[in-house]
Amino acid sequence: MKNLSDFLNKEFRIIEFSSKNSFFEKNQNKNNKLLTIVKNNNLNEGKTIFLGGKNFTRAIRKNSSDILILNASGWKELRALQNTPEAKFLFERITLLSLVPIIYFLIKSLLAKRTRFNGIYYLKSRLRFSLYIGLKKRRIIRKVARHYLSPLIDLEDFFKELNHKNISYCILRWFENLPSIEDNEDVDLLVNDNDLTRIHSIIDRQPGIIPFDIYSKSGIPGSDFKNLPYYVYSLADRVLNESVLFKNTFKVPTWQNYFYLLVYHAVFHKGENSGIPGKKYKLKPTEKPDHDYLDYLRKISAKVNINFNEFTLESLHSYLETKGYVPPLDTQYKLSLYNQYLKLYLEDVHHHQLELIEKFEGTACFVIREKIINTGLLKEVEKFIQKMGFTIIKTVKIEGSVKEEFTKQVRGGNWNQGPWPSNAGEPAAVIVAYDVYPIKPDTSHYKKHPGLTNKRILGKDEIRNFLNKQFFDKTEWCNGVHSSDNEIQAVEYFSLAGLDENEIYEEIIKYKEMFETQFPVLKVLSCYSRRAKVELITYNRTKAIKKTFKPNCEMFLENEIEAYTAFKDLKEVPDLLETGTNYIITSYVEASKSLGNRISIRMLKKCLKLLREIYNRGYSLFDFKPSNFLIDKNHDIHIIDFEFLYKYSDKPSFWKCYDLAGVPENFNFMDKPIVKIPKDKKQFDVKWGSFTGVHYEELSKLGSPAIYFKSTFRFYKLKARKLKRLVSKKGEMIMKRIFSHLP
């Protein structure tokens, strides 16, 4: 057993919750970071705070501490302890009354993987000897805006210290009764970015229970609202610059700015839950409004002579728009995940902009930030965007007043570094790209990217990863690329960048017409279509396959034509029937199907035999994978897709060919498919391993019976693991649902 008092000698913020008296009386004067809270008493003495029942339980659940010690044996207190946000270590005193609930919550917490058992601890205090169960939190809590001030610090003294240190802040609302704070209320602060760490160092130096929500001007992680700036940058900047002293102590907004702040909060943060009615959207609050926003707004508007005929969400929204304090569309889409009013409003925007959406369907804008431009990576970004399946229409660098306005209007003016080690700087260039074959997003994508209209845009994460690999020092990694999520945003972005809408549209029409199919289409066979669309068509009264390549993908078209010409004598290769400026038509393999999820060694040998024939002719496919093979009704194989065909200049041995071992890293990434190969694996392992159970080093021994049994065992072992993970995941979900309904 370990001694619990050892923790008191370390730099931990500790809160002790006790039913009657403190178990740490002798340590209270020695440790400034120890706070004792005792239940059911009305007098505060020294470093001990006394709270009533509800406030006591709330403080267990909502506090800032590194260690939380519970000397209260009630069911409510133990349940509240499970939800305490910050504490890394939890200690629960074992008594006869608390033993059963402690075991219950211990099992529940362990099964939910929230904590892990950290041992049994003891504590000696005078004639008292106590035992504790120790728990350690598993998950690292993400930094949030919520902080807690120590109740031992006078509120006026706290704000006087902020003023003395010239910290730029503003109390956002409900400040009229300060320094008094009602139960279940918090203090909302807006802080200048440069002062954020300073105010954190002051409020976090002692354990606390008085809630503060501290938001930075630009929404730095840990001081943001739903990963967004709390207010649009221009409004936040104005409020901080024009703050005034209230009661000679508290910095608060002017009454006019208070009106703007409260309207913004009601419309964009609260929506229907503000209790303010909608004129068009008749929505009922899903939760009880925490204040009478309507009454407050009426009183403040009268004070500053702002005349309103009606107070509705729509009219307030429109009012902020006239003042230039409405967040940009990309921000509103993200806020709409938590705001039903905004969701309906944006659906209306979509409905009214249907003509524009259809006109610019497939258009996206990629915003490239200063660090990427200064490092000379703009051309690489353009290449990667093309590799994703887009055609570059226009690239323009933004400077001067255009850059200044673009920076303010896009992303709510928030261009900080976010969760990345380095800041990529302000926007410096805009790439207008067009996708002639956009892909509808999955339902799951809308949860993170509301308003998304083309799944291909999500490839921006791959661009960021690629760009960051160009920086050898990981501390230089950054978010160098931002993008629009839909056509409305795209038009807004390139218009702000000074580009002409009609000129962009003319280019789109040109590419769209080039991509149209003039033959009767029986079925679209394309899946992701980065470089081309594939269709089953009627050609000279028979079925055929037409592959139409996207603009600027001529290289892949040339590779296909070369392959069908060079391998025309191979029965496994379909016939080339016709070629055009951007398409090929090949024969259709009747009654064909894919190789399936289980590829036998016999079938693998057939595929390798064909690969060897292609290799002997001096070529590599680069993209040798099961999905590029078909089986006909006679069980003969056929190969399709030669987009990445490559003619060797220095041919390696067959077993080291690029199709099996992998394409060398020094090849241009535009000339090879996107494949992530672990260091200890080869390309064959990644592409074929899970289908065959065969390892790369065994390819030359496929005739051995031992390989047959090994591969079969591996294949089904892999399937069993996948099934186990699936069952385990389902089991966890079921257990979470069960426990969510338990007390």
> Could you tell me if residue 204 is inside a domain?
yes
Closest CA to 581 of 605, 610, 550, 608: 550
Instruction: Let me know whether 491 and 559 are in one domain.
Output: no
pLDDT at 673: 85
Q: Is the same domain home to 652 and 576?
A: no
Domain shared by 383 and 464, yes or no: yes
Q: Does any domain span residue 598? A: no
Low-confidence ranges of the chain (pLDDT < 50): 29
User: Are residues 130 and 158 part of one domain?
Assistant: no
Is 385 domain-assigned?
Answer: yes
732 domain residue, yes or no: no
Q: Is the full-model pTM beyond 0.95?
A: no
Closest CA to 132 of 162, 94, 179, 98: 94
Is the CB of residue 251 less than 8 Å from the CB of residue 245? yes
| Same domain for 279 and 205 | yes
The one-letter code for the residue type at 354 is L
Q: How far apart are CA 409 and CA 414, in angstroms?
A: 9
Q: Of 86, 114, 137, at which residue does a domain stop?
A: 137
Residue 417: what pLDDT? 78
Q: Which domain holds residue 669?
A: 607-626+643-701
Angle (CA) 230-235-239 rounded to 5° is 95
- What is the reported pLDDT for 46? 58
Does any domain span residue 595? no
**Are 527 and 437 members of one domain?**
no
In this structure, are 472 and 362 located in the same domain? yes
Q: Could you give the maximum distance between any two Cα atoms of the chain, in Å?
A: 100
Q: Which of 84, 111, 137 is the last residue of a domain?
A: 137
CATH number for 208: 3.30.460
Domain count, the chain: 5
Q: Say yes or no: 175 and 252 in one domain.
A: yes
What pLDDT, on the 0 to 100 scale, is given for residue 313?
Answer: 94
Residue 251's pLDDT is: 97
Cα–Cα distance for residue pair 560/568, rounded to 1 Å? 12
Q: Are residues 300 and 361 in the same domain?
A: no
Residue 191 pairs in a beta bridge with 169, 216
Determine the Cα–Cα distance for residues 427 and 411; give it in Å rounded to an integer: 10
Give the pLDDT confidence score for residue 83 in this predicted structure.
Answer: 84
Residues 126 and 166 in one domain: no
231 within domain boundaries: yes
Q: Are residues 86 and 16 in the same domain?
A: yes
345 in any annotated domain: no
Q: Give the pLDDT of residue 44.
A: 53
- Pair 200, 308 in one domain: yes
Report the pLDDT value the prediction gives residue 140, as an integer from 0 to 100. 65
Q: What is the CATH number of the domain that holds 410?
A: 3.30.70
| 730 found inside a domain | no
pLDDT value for 546: 96
Name the DSSP class of 384.
Answer: H
